[in-house]
Structure 1
Amino acid sequence: METATSTPVLNLPKGIPIKLQFDTPEAARLHRKQMLTVAFRLFAKFGYDEGVAGHITVRDPEHTDHFWVNPFGIDFGSINLTDLICVNHRGDVVEGNYSVNRAAFAIHSQIHAARPDVIAAAHAHSMYGKAYSTLGRKLPPSTQDACAFYDDHGLFTEYGGVVGEVEEGQRIALALGQRKACILQNHGLLTVGGTVEEAAWWFITMDRSCQAQLIAEATGHPVIAIDHETALLTRGQVGFPMAGYFQFQPLLQRILRETPDLLN
């Protein structure tokens, strides 16, 4: 379900669209597909595309064991609303004209099955995410932005080649647990959320946090001056679901200015 947390509360500026509940499944489906299209365009803009790798999914609001996902082999920067495909819990494409990436089904189907609260999930082989993943450790609370993931992301260390079986997807879902993100060692990043906007923002800011950490370690010895209690406090300020949704809004505004017909 697409709902906001009751606390903390954001004092939102006028003009920021906050509509997380819809009157019909059709309206909810259209919004989710529109935001999924936007997320792919943004991922392309940030350079998160790597050949055919990477996928973002959103749960269908009516058939909740189905999800919408990018078609296999279509460039993130070219994806339109009509290109999206709907996949059921068996991996069958039930709507759309393209095939599904087997890894997308193996990973995302198990995350959606294990986490009924997860509406959307994002995974890509971003440069800084996959570079940081080779270190085999979680992100420290070295910056305010990184604190959004403090004690709220997992680490999956069982790399076994390209994910092709649901059993590995189940192990990834187990490593994710009830958290918002997971570092897939020697692979990349995975983020989830109660909206596409939230899941996509967590991915973007997590990749940037990986970049900041890598730069800091390359230039010296980072001082982690944020203690446990302060990191938890900061996570509560910047890492809650509505904060993820809200942080996505300027990116949404930018991409719609650049491509005003994107959602048509």
Structure 2
Amino acid sequence: MSTAVTEPRPAYLADTVTGLPIPGDPEFATCEDARRHRKQRLAAALRLFGKYGFGEGVSGHISVRDPEHEDRFWVNPFGVSFHRVRVADLICVDSGGRVVSGRHRVNPSAFVIHSQIHELHPGATAAAHGHTPHSRALGALGRLLEPIDQESAAFYGRQVLYGAYEGPSVSVAQGRDIAERLGDHRAILLRHHGLITVGGSVEEAVHWFFTYDGCAQVQLLAQAAGTPQPLTHEQATAARDGFGDAQLGRFSFRLLWDEIVAEQPDLLDE
């Protein structure tokens, strides 16, 4: 019987899936500590949406499930600019659409979409939604991302197009339909509407949103200039294993977190 020889791991590769020296997830002693962490990252994510031009009037929202009450989620309040949201402004909404913490009201679209995603998908701790020009343009063409580079391969087999537009999302039935269509994907492109990404944390969901929108821009530019040459199935799968790694997604957000907190420390005001 032959014994397989395992090559020693090179010293420059860390003991992670990607080989990158990525730290593990933080641990919290109490639910309150975990809640503060999630709310701070949520407020930072919203400021980043503002900084990078993802705002469109009152549209767009990011949510994260409460670590103690899993039928509740924290989300940005209605009518407060992404540029001005602080931890103190965030609201907590229950499964019936009632604001149980916070002084602002909830955006009806935020409730019907995010409540259903959190209810149907236990692994979707957070969800990010915005009406960005690149995602709207891609949706208008009825196209999903093609694996034309490493970053877009993060969504290879992990995205879906939703075409059942019925006007602004204000009914729970429509929100549930979106959540059901999302399935176990990490991104759903809403035709005539915008983009939703999900993840096991605020960090991950928001990183996928940034990446998807950037990839949509690259694809639109490439298709306008000529005929992009996609990766093969084998290449796209290999790229997805690296660039689609959830731990990498969470850590990548940390760079944006450091950036926005240094620039806009008032977002942490409680």
Map of 1:240 onto structure 2? 245
SS in 2 for 1:33: helix
Correspondence 1:44-83 to 2 at 5 A: 44-83=50-89
Distance 1:93 1:49 in 2: 23
Deviates more, 1:33-42 or 1:249-258: 249-258
Map of 1:32 onto structure 2? 38
Q: 1:143 and 2:149 equivalent?
A: yes
After superposition, give the CA deviation of every residue in 1:38-61 in whole Å (9 maximum; x if it has no partner).
000000011000000000000000
CA contact (8 A) 2:130 2:195 kept: yes
Whose Rg is larger? 2
Q: 1:9 Cα shift?
A: 5.0
Q: 1:129 Cα shift?
A: 1.0
CA contact (8 A) 2:95 2:115 kept: yes
Q: 1:262 Cα shift?
A: 3.0
Q: 1:10 Cα shift?
A: 4.7
Q: 1:162 Cα shift?
A: 0.2
Map of 2:26 onto structure 1? 20
Correspondence 1:1-264 to 2 at 5 A: 8-12=17-21, 18-224=24-230, 226-264=231-269
* TM norm structure 2: 0.91
SS in 2 for 1:237: helix
Distance 2:172 2:204 in 1: 25
| Count of residue correspondences | 255
* TM norm structure 1: 0.93
Distance 2:177 2:16 in 1: 32
After superposition, give the CA deviation of every residue in 1:23-52 in whole Å (9 maximum; x if it has no partner).
110000000000000000000011000000
Map of 2:8 onto structure 1? none
After superposition, the CA RMSD in angstroms is 1.4
Unaligned residue ranges in structure 1 (runs of 5+) = 1-5
